Amino acid sequence: MSTTLFNLQHDHIAHLQRAYSDILTDHGFDSLAIYSGHASEHFADDHTPPFQAYGHFMHWVGLADVQHSWLIIQPGERPQLYLYAPADFWHLPTQLPDEPWVEAFDVHLSSNTIDSNETGSDKISLPLSGNAAVIGDIERLPTCTLQPLKAERHPERLVHALDELRLFKTPYEVACLREANRLAIAGHQASQAAFIGAAGELDIQLAYLAASRQRESNVPYQNIIGLNEHAGVLHYQHYDLQPPKQRYSLLVDAGRRFRGYCADITRTYAGPDAPVAFGELVTAMQALKKELVSSVAPGVSFVTLHEQMHQQLGEILVANDLFKGTAEQAVAEGVTRAFCPHGLGHSLGLQVHDVAGLRHPDGTPAPAPEQHPALRLTRTLRPGMVVTIEPGLYFINMLLAPLRNTDLPINWQLVDQLAPCGGIRIEDNVAVTESGFTNLTP
Ligand code: GLY
Ligand code: MN
Ligand code: MN
């Protein structure tokens, strides 16, 4: 890892120490315990699903797979990391990397969890002092574990303030998101090559994982690899084993974690059997994505940018002969919403759908507009935010069918011709800077 990244991480941890001190003091707390979380076993089994640590825990240590561990933060004190690292011949015990950031923490290794029934010197007791708070997925810990902590659980205003802190990325975090993007793009290039080679969904997924250098349990979200009409299923969750006979389209929405931080990138390709009109629509959506990305700047309302997407989707529907009225009519009559039911994008960070997108800076709710309930970000953009820009256009029968009984001038013949292509989404990851934006997706 480069010295530059380690220096940035050093500054990032120093920033967290200052910010947490201020936030804890403002909210009247003397100490805070952050639980990493742990995976629960499948019912009646001894295996667990893949695990992802709590975002506020990762914010400090950047380790997405650490379980049963705690951070204690106290204003003016060094952070205390209680790392669960049992002596275990079934698994490789957790080890911290040999990296400079570890020196910023007092590290306590324990072979017992806090909820362990074991007694003895190795049992963790967390040194919470004064007015204390505890956050994280603590509901699944036994009640008896938390009682001795004498801490307020999940103080809402405190958690909102910490979420707000996460919304604004430090230069270290932006560097991690950029590297996650670089790795993910290698996967996307391999996916495209596999599609050209007539691979099916599973083989495209395997090509993606190999080229982006990750195992499936480490992906930040389940990769969406949709051929043909599957490209129109927004969160399509399967991988067909066999390639289809006709190859109209491929949509790949796939990411990568780097030191906890997530890439979330989508690309759509027209296949050899697609109507010419589909290829033209893909080109139009790529241009729309580019234009929306270049509109990202401090002071821009994300809701306004989302509305701009709808206006331009209306123009694309008209220009590509899918709608024989005006762009304004397509927006006003809800036609663009039937073709694109999701939001323009969301905040991105340690979670793919990162925190604080639907709150005002003071933590009060800032819900999505009634007409756009799926929008996950209603904030005014500020430097340090990282967002996705992901315009889409789909042929989803469930949404389009009700419009068939209206006299809206939709070109149903063309819709039916394009339906086997499923849909299009193009998604980049964009950092808001002081003067505008940086596109992190190469
Ligand atoms: N990959 C999920 C999303 O784009 O929001
Ligand atoms: Mn995505
Ligand atoms: Mn996204």
DSSP, residue by residue, 313-367: HHHHHHHTTSBSS-HHHHHHTTHHHHH--S-S--B-SSSSS-TTTTB-TTS-B-P
Q: Which atom of ligand 1 is nearest to the CA of 346?
A: 5
Calpha distance 334→313 (Å, rounded): 11
What pLDDT is stored for residue 139 in this prediction? 86
Q: Is 307 helix (H, G, I), strand (E, B) or coil?
A: helix
What pLDDT is stored for residue 141 in this prediction? 82
- Count up the domains in the chain and report the number: 2
What pLDDT is stored for residue 142 in this prediction? 73
Distance 344 CA to ligand 3 centre (A): 9
Q: Are residues 119 and 199 in the same domain?
A: no
What pLDDT is stored for residue 63 in this prediction? 95
Q: Which atom of ligand 1 is nearest to the CA of 425?
A: 4
Q: What is the DSSP letter of 388?
A: E
Q: Are residues 196 and 144 in the same domain?
A: no
Q: Are residues 163 and 175 in the same domain?
A: no
Q: Which atom of ligand 1 is nearest to the CA of 266?
A: 4
What's the whole-number average pLDDT of the chain? 95
Distance 265 CA to ligand 2 centre (A): 5
Which of 268, 390, 424 has most ligand 1 atoms within 8 Å of CB, for mutation? 390
What pLDDT is stored for residue 366 in this prediction? 98
Distance 181 CA to ligand 2 centre (A): 12
Distance 328 CA to ligand 1 centre (A): 28
The CATH number given to whatever domain includes residue 431 is 3.90.230.10
Calpha distance 84→119 (Å, rounded): 16
Distance 92 CA to ligand 2 centre (A): 33
Q: Are residues 62 and 32 in the same domain?
A: yes
Q: Of the residues 167, 189, 219, which one is the last residue of a structural domain?
A: 167
What pLDDT is stored for residue 180 in this prediction? 98
Q: Of the residues 112, 142, 167, which one is the last residue of a structural domain?
A: 167
Give residue-wise pLDDT tens across range 8-26: 999 999 999 999 999 999 9
Which of 388, 389, 441 has most ligand 1 atoms within 8 Å of CB, for mutation? 388
Which residue's CA lies nearest to atom 3 of ligand 1? 264
> Which ligand is nearest to the Cα of residue 429, counting in written order?
3
Q: Are residues 245 and 106 in the same domain?
A: no
The CATH number given to whatever domain includes residue 66 is 3.40.350.10
Instruction: Map tokens 């990138």 to a residue.
Output: 265
CB 423 within 8 A of CB 395: yes
What pLDDT is stored for residue 182 in this prediction? 98
Q: Are residues 68 and 193 in the same domain?
A: no
Strands lying side by side in the sheet with 261-270: 224-227, 249-258, 261-270
Strand pairing category for 224-227 and 249-258: antiparallel
Distance 22 CA to ligand 1 centre (A): 33
Q: How many CB atoms lie within 10 A of CB 330?
A: 28
Distance 376 CA to ligand 3 centre (A): 10
What pLDDT is stored for residue 140 in this prediction? 80
Calpha distance 149→158 (Å, rounded): 18
CB 200 within 8 A of CB 243: yes
Exposure of 215 by Cβ count < 10 A (0-12 exposed, 13-18 middle, 19+ buried)?
A: exposed
Question: Within 6 Å (CB) of ligand 1, which residues are found?
Answer: 221, 253, 264, 346, 352, 390, 427
> Which ligand is nearest to the Cα of residue 348, counting in written order?
3
Q: Tell me the C-alpha to C-alpha distance, in Å, between residue 435 and each of 344, 381, 429, 431.
A: 21, 12, 17, 11
Q: Are residues 267 and 304 in the same domain?
A: yes
Which ranges of the chain have pLDDT less than 50? 121
Distance 170 CA to ligand 2 centre (A): 22
Cβ within 8 Å of residue 350, ≥6 positions away: 55, 58, 59, 166, 260, 261, 262
Calpha distance 148→72 (Å, rounded): 15
Q: Are residues 221 and 126 in the same domain?
A: no
Q: Which atom of ligand 1 is nearest to the CA of 224?
A: 1
Provide the sign of the torsion angle of the four alpha carbons 428, 433, 435, 440, taken in this order. Answer: negative
> Which ligand is nearest to the Cα of residue 387, counting in written order?
3
Of 260, 279, 436, which Cα lies nearest the Cα of 348?
260
Q: Tell me the C-alpha to C-alpha distance, in Å, between residue 155 and each of 24, 151, 316.
A: 11, 10, 47
Strand pairing category for 80-84 and 106-110: parallel
Q: Are residues 215 and 96 in the same domain?
A: no
Q: Which atom of ligand 1 is nearest to the CA of 390?
A: 4
Q: Are residues 156 and 176 in the same domain?
A: no
Q: Are residues 150 and 245 in the same domain?
A: no
Domain that holds residue 31: 3-167
> Which ligand is nearest to the Cα of residue 219, counting in written order?
1
Q: Which atom of ligand 1 is nearest to the CA of 221?
A: 1
Single-letter amino acid code for the residue at 158 = L
Distance 234 CA to ligand 1 centre (A): 9
Q: Of the residues 167, 199, 234, which one is the last residue of a structural domain?
A: 167
Which residue's CA lies nearest to atom 4 of ligand 1? 264
Q: Are residues 124 and 226 in the same domain?
A: no
Single-letter amino acid code for the residue at 294 = S
